[in-house]
Structure 1
Amino acid sequence: MATPKIHLLVSSFLLCGTFLSLFHCTLSLLNPEDGVGILVQADDDVSMAQSNRDSRKRCDISVGKWVYDDSYPLYDSSCPYLSSAVTCQRNGRPDSDYEKWKWKPSGCTMPRFDALRFLGRMRRKRIMLVGDSIMRNQWESLVCLVQGVIPTGRKRVTYNGPGMAFHAMDFETSIEFFWAPLLVELKKGSENKRILHLDLIEENARYWRGVDILVFDSAHWWTHPDQTSSWDYYLEGNNLTRNMNPMVAYQKGLSTWARWVDQNLNPRRTEVIFRSMSPRHNRENGWKCYNQKQPLPFSSHLHVPEPLAVLQGVLKRMRFPVYLQDITTMTALRRDGHPSVYRRVISQDEKQKPGKGHSSDCSHWCLPGVPDIWNEMLSALL
């Protein structure tokens, strides 16, 4: 007669154990300390995924405002991995407030970049940033954000064709940059003519295989005016043409990239992020960013640039779950963050005579500066 009672007690004990285990797991998922690297959701859910294959909802970190924070920057211009064209302080820029603005999303909290935590999450992984010189700008920022916690003898940079890689040896992690400003292939044809192949990509894409995290950008080169264009002809199949609407060409090139990702990458092994276009402030003959010292106030009238609309359309048609890191609107407010005349060391006389014999860079970004915030966002997404 005691046997059924014993079975009942054992069953009750097992049931309680299962419940407690589930309860413990639930608590661990809710533990704020375990979630330092992710976004803390607040108000309405907004999907960060631009692919129609993903149903997860997250706070839209592209909506918010710039706030001054005296604890920034997270490194200084002595970082040995910075190219001279972006070290604005070393080049003589007299103000430094542009280094101290952080992005505050409206509906959630974005965590401060933590180099050790980031490297821990990237252990035994390759992360590759693919694109143009603005992406190189972001790569230098990311390397400088992490390199300070790595002993001198345990880090190095290697070069391989159109790519370079920063190695954090103790973490078996590489942070790589690959030069492919158009993603698709640009080749020399007969009579040395430059031909942009809108439907060819493998020459570049072969380098992307086996990478754990791929971050892409491509827009600036597509929007260059005719006199500074990098090609003479477009080629699609056997159709060679000199003239094409730049946004039509951009859509075709992006679609070639999208097909390659859909057909060649496994979302269980590779994470893909596409960073939206970094705005230029080049009006007024390139001097619109000169001597700017504060972000612009938020404007509700900022329109979606055509390249961003094209990119959104391509991503939505993909099967692979690509995430759009939208930095365009928030970065449009930061005309104070460009090198301007401080892309090189200039004399005091040159500083006082803008436009007289030297150029102003209103496309790239001073470091430390705006790309550090892009990388804080990237870290949160990862």
Structure 2
Amino acid sequence: MAPVPTSPSSSSSSASPRLLHSNSSEWNAVVQRNIKSSLLLLLVLSTIFVISVLYTSHSFGSTAAEEGLTQQSTLVVSGRLVPVEEDADEPIVPAENNVASEQSSPAEISLPSANSSSAPTASTAERTEDQSVVGVQVVERCDMSMGKWVREPKGPIYTNLTCPTLPDFKNCQKYGKDPGHLFWRWQPDGCDLPRFSPERFLDVVRGKRLAFIGDSLARNQMESLLCLLSQVPSLNGCRSSNVSYIQHGKGHSFIAKQTSMQAETPTEVYRDAYDKFRTWHFPTHNFTLMAMWTEFYAHAMPVLDADGKPTASFDIHLDRLNANWTSRLPGLDYAVISGGNWFFRVNYLWEDGRRIGCVNCREANLTDFGIAYAVRRVVRAALEAIAKCHECSGNNLVTFLRTYTPDHFEHGSWFSGGYCNRTQPLEEGDISLQSIGWELRRVQSEEVARVRERTGSKRFGVLDVTKAMMLRADGHPGGHYDKRWVRNASDCLHWCLPGPVDMWNDVLLQRLAQISTTPLAR
């Protein structure tokens, strides 16, 4: 520290006490003023520094969040091949699509081709499943299509003993399937998919009519929903929440350990002679549930052999829809359409009354348009027919398209030694980018985006379950069904009940709940 200054008149080393005291007081005042100025300056600098840090952190956090959302919508998979999707009657190797892909608008989904090394990402169009509409403003919701299967110790909310409508072909535990496939749940990236609530679902659809339109997998979803909604007491008088197993003959059966979900038992009010169209009614909630059969959406007739008997092939008229389901659209409040697996047969495509090509035929004089082209054409026609349904506009029909789900046959097919004996979900590295399932998912999602854009209607959405079901090779009946009806076959296409298929209705409930609380724009 600098020496204390003395009076100019003082030349000696000692000064009077009065002079020392006066000089010291002046110096202290100077020091105090300097300290105050320094503290004030330090306070200003600190404030500027804190504001700068907060602004930088906010910007970094926003960027990180955006990057995180992008990563969550990306599926990382390997290039290992999985079994090609096959038909119920004969193994078919998918033909390459010889038709140039249609031009995509900026709003449409973009997924990698079979030869791409990049991972599929979710675009705005793909996320139609995860959006609700306020007026004309689209509000983003969690993307339920991307995620993973995680352990669920509670098991499913119903059992093969508590579902009164469970068909034997899906009652896998009764015929010996290991119950390990039941203790998994779908965990979306970045959010949760709530456990299915029968009470909530029935409350949302009170007074409504819902139809599943498609092939046997559409009926599989209806059967799942019936089990989720229409439970009866199990052997010990309880409904299922946490469950254990007992041995039942050669198979496993559930026993519920505690009371949980309450539900309403429906009444079957209609079934056609071929079991293609069925209607159930829940009187307490005045809710009607329907299944409407269509293999292709379009009008199709079996190809006859030389003896006039039907073969496994079909003539598909791309410019004519099947009236069996379109005539039943009026009066519906919700429709869930799905399909794709019947296109793996050898089929012939017709337009304007003439044969224009084929799918999987490999005939020299016919153009093989490929499965994706045929699926695109019929999905587009189906969606446009629904959009133009004048009788449907009065009740504001809302339509969801459930995306394609593959089979999991290994080393053969239905009657040629194929099987699906996995005991737990596949790893993501087992999913192939070369699987045609990705292409069909892309085509279906693009067509939903197209009809939304063309009509300006927000009443079309996607239930994207493709990735989730690609991983569930363990969820099929395989050989675990009543052999009195079909012998020497494995079912690696349909899904056990309970099983992974119940997740489809978890997603459906979330979408319906969003609609019930958020008005949709026309």
TM range (shorter): 0.7 to 0.9
- Structure with the larger helix share: 1
Residues 240 and 195 of structure 1: CA distance in aligned 2, closer, same or farther (over 3 Å): same
Residues 146 and 121 of structure 1: CA distance in aligned 2, closer, same or farther (over 3 Å): same
Partner SS state of residue 305, structure 1: helix
- Contact 2:408–2:420 at 8 Å: present in 1 too? no
State the match for 1:292 in structure 2. Answer: 422
Q: Report the Cα distance in structure 1 between the residues aligned to 2:422 and 2:410, rounded to whole angstroms.
A: 14
The C-alpha deviation readout for 1:51-103, integer Å capped at 9, x for no partner, is: 9987331111111111111212111113221221111111122x101111110
Residues 329 and 289 of structure 1: CA distance in aligned 2, closer, same or farther (over 3 Å): farther
Whose Rg is larger?
2
State the match for 2:60 in structure 1. Answer: none
Q: What is the aligned residue count?
A: 322
1:171 aligns with 2:285: yes
Supply the RMSD in Å over aligned alpha carbons. 2.8
Which of 267, 272, 289 is equivalent to 1:155?
Answer: 267
- Contact 1:90–1:345 at 8 Å: present in 2 too? no
State the match for 1:255 in structure 2. Answer: 380
Partner SS state of residue 76, structure 1: coil
Per-residue deviation, 1:239: 2.5
Provide the TM-score with structure 1 as the length reference.
Answer: 0.77
1:281 aligns with 2:408: yes
Residues 360 and 267 of structure 1: CA distance in aligned 2, closer, same or farther (over 3 Å): farther
The C-alpha deviation readout for 1:246-287, integer Å capped at 9, x for no partner, is: 322222212211221221254971111000111111231136
Partner SS state of residue 169, structure 2: helix
Of 293-302 and 108-117, the range deviating more from structure 2: 293-302
1:360 aligns with 2:360: no
Q: Report the Cα distance in structure 2 between the residues aligned to 1:107 and 1:274, rounded to whole angstroms.
A: 23
Question: Structure 1 runs of 4+ off > 6 angstroms?
Answer: 50-54, 188-193
Q: Report the Cα distance in structure 2 between the residues aligned to 1:301 and 1:371, rounded to whole angstroms.
A: 19
- Contact 1:278–1:327 at 8 Å: present in 2 too? yes
State the match for 1:344 in structure 2. Answer: 482
The C-alpha deviation readout for 1:323-382, integer Å capped at 9, x for no partner, is: 111111111111011111113259xxxxxxxxxx72211111111001111111111111
Q: Report the Cα distance in structure 1 between the residues aligned to 2:137 and 2:277, rounded to whole angstroms.
A: 31
Unaligned runs of 5+ in 1: 1-42, 347-356
Which of 328, 332, 336 is equivalent to 2:470?
Answer: 332
- Contact 1:289–1:336 at 8 Å: present in 2 too? no
Residues 73 and 268 of structure 1: CA distance in aligned 2, closer, same or farther (over 3 Å): same
Map 1:1-382 → 2, pairs under 5 A = 44=69, 48-49=127-128, 55-78=138-161, 79-93=163-177, 95-148=178-231, 149-150=262-263, 155-160=267-272, 162-187=276-301, 194-201=314-321, 203=323, 204-224=325-345, 226=346, 233-241=348-356, 243=358, 244-245=368-369, 246-264=371-389, 265-266=392-393, 269-286=396-413, 289-299=419-429, 302-303=432-433, 305-318=438-451, 319=455, 320-321=457-458, 322-345=460-483, 358-382=488-512
- Contact 1:296–1:334 at 8 Å: present in 2 too? yes
Provide the TM-score with structure 2 as the length reference.
Answer: 0.57
Per-residue deviation, 1:189: 8.5
The C-alpha deviation readout for 1:95-130, integer Å capped at 9, x for no partner, is: 101111110111111111110111011000001111
Q: Report the Cα distance in structure 2 between the residues aligned to 1:189 and 1:301, rounded to whole angstroms.
A: 35
